Structure 1
Amino acid sequence: MPERRRWSTEEILDTAAELLRTSDAESFSVRKLAAVLGTDSSSLYRHFRSKTELLREVADRILLAAMDGYRPEGDWKQRITALALRVREAFGQQPQLAAVWGRYASSGTGSRLVMEEVLQALRISGLPDEEIPVRYHRIVVLLFALVASEAGAGAITPKEREQGMELFRVAVLGADPERFPALAHFARDVRPLGADRRAAFEEILAAQLAHIEATIRPL
């Protein structure tokens, strides 16, 4: 009987990422991954102690890709904005993994690089040190939400998108003006959630950063 191939950690993570492109974290399992690799689950547990640890590693690789080649430029708001857009772009290329990141937040090198840059940017903003952890937390929670929302829309098929658009048109343009007067009034101007997501992402992030800036007391 031929000896089974020994897969490297990177090969396992590559295969897991590919498997997650067509499934979600709930249906993903180490057993399924092992079957794709043609091995048994026990061999994978030599690399990862649990499914959660494996998923965290997969998510962290996306953050590592986002930080690859990153160089901080500009003021603190420009740095955080540039970082956020890089993370958004990285998960936009693998939208199924955004939900994995949101649920299984990594503590790996990629995550630490993102954390370090946000904290460094906030340190030069003029905020006192005691306020930085709270502000950092708000920014990261917002980034999680925006990236997950963006990626969720990007993961649907063209057919699902068209069906959603048709349902939106029926729900909005066909709204009863007596029951939904405001909706009927703005029906032709209200846009679906998928429209101008990039602009919305940047505006919401900019509003959060402006809010932080307004709290900074001049020296």
Structure 2
Amino acid sequence: MTGRRRWSTDEILDTAAELLRTSDAESFSVRKLAAALGTDSSSLYRHFRNKTELLRAVADRILLAAMDGYRPQGDWKQRIAALALRLREAFGEQIELAVVWGRYGSGGTGSRLVMEELLQALRASGLPDDEVPVRYHRIVILLASLITSEAGINTVAPKEYEQGMEQFRVAVLGADPERFPALAHFARDIRPLGADRPAAFEDILAAHLAQIEAQLP
């Protein structure tokens, strides 16, 4: 009698990533992954202790891919901006994994490479050592928030998006000027959350880095 095939860790993560392309982290389960691989859940627990550990490992592969071929160039702000755009692009192709990263984080090699580059760039800025971890933490929160927020917008189906846009137009353009005077005044210039995300991402990050620069000794 032929035994069941033994799947490698990379093969398990490949299949998990593929499942997460079409489902979210909430509905994803080790049982579904095992079914996709044609095995039982117990065989997967030899590689990962639980679902969260598995999701972290999948997200870490995105970080590894983002760091592949990366070489620091420019000053500290340019380095951080370049890294941020690489992360945004990498997770933009794996929308559900952006949510996983924002929720669970990662402790793998990819995560450590990102941490190392951010810390080195901040140290190169001239910040005192006791300020570097604080600034690092705020930048990571900012990036995770922006990337996962954009991922959330991208998961909306076209029909749902158009319905949301129609509600936005009604709410903004139809605002009662007596009750909402400022909204009525700026109505034609207010843009929905999903509009012009790339430029907004870069502007928000640049403003945050400028704030750090202004506080340098």
Helix, strand or coil: the match of 2:140?
A: helix
Between 170-179 and 113-122, the greater mean CA deviation after superposition: 170-179
**Residue of structure 2 equivalent to 1:97:** 97
The CA deviation string for residues 157-200 of structure 1, in whole angstroms up to 9 with x for no partner, is 22222121111111111111112111111111101111111111
**Residue of structure 2 equivalent to 1:16:** 16
How far 1:156 moved relative to its partner? 1.6
**Residue of structure 2 equivalent to 1:192:** 192
**Residue of structure 2 equivalent to 1:142:** 142
**Residue of structure 1 equivalent to 2:56:** 56
For 1:87, the aligned partner's letter is: L
For 2:192, the aligned partner's letter is: P
**Residue of structure 1 equivalent to 2:43:** 43
**Residue of structure 2 equivalent to 1:173:** 173
Q: Structure 1: 5+ residue runs without aligned partners? A: none
For 1:77, the aligned partner's letter is: K
Helix, strand or coil: the match of 2:189?
A: coil
For 2:46, the aligned partner's letter is: R
Helix, strand or coil: the match of 2:14?
A: helix
How far 1:14 moved relative to its partner? 0.8
Partners of 1:22 and 1:156 lie apart in 2 by: 12
Partners of 2:73 and 2:160 lie apart in 1 by: 40
**Residue of structure 2 equivalent to 1:125:** 125
For 1:57, the aligned partner's letter is: A
Between 46-55 and 158-167, the greater mean CA deviation after superposition: 158-167
Q: Aligned pair 1:73/2:73, yes or no?
A: yes
**Residue of structure 2 equivalent to 1:152:** 152
**Residue of structure 1 equivalent to 2:201:** 201
What is the aligned residue count?
217
For 2:108, the aligned partner's letter is: G
Partners of 1:207 and 1:188 lie apart in 2 by: 25
Partners of 2:8 and 2:156 lie apart in 1 by: 32
Normalising by structure 2, we get a TM-score of: 0.97
Q: Runs of 4+ in structure 1 displaced over 2 angstroms?
A: none
The CA deviation string for residues 48-94 of structure 1, in whole angstroms up to 9 with x for no partner, is 11111100000000101111111100000000000000000000011
Helix, strand or coil: the match of 2:86?
A: helix
RMSD: 1.0
Normalising by structure 1, we get a TM-score of: 0.96
Partners of 2:34 and 2:23 lie apart in 1 by: 15
Partners of 1:162 and 1:71 lie apart in 2 by: 41
User: What's the % identity of the aligned pairs?
Assistant: 82
Partners of 1:32 and 1:145 lie apart in 2 by: 28
Partners of 1:72 and 1:43 lie apart in 2 by: 41
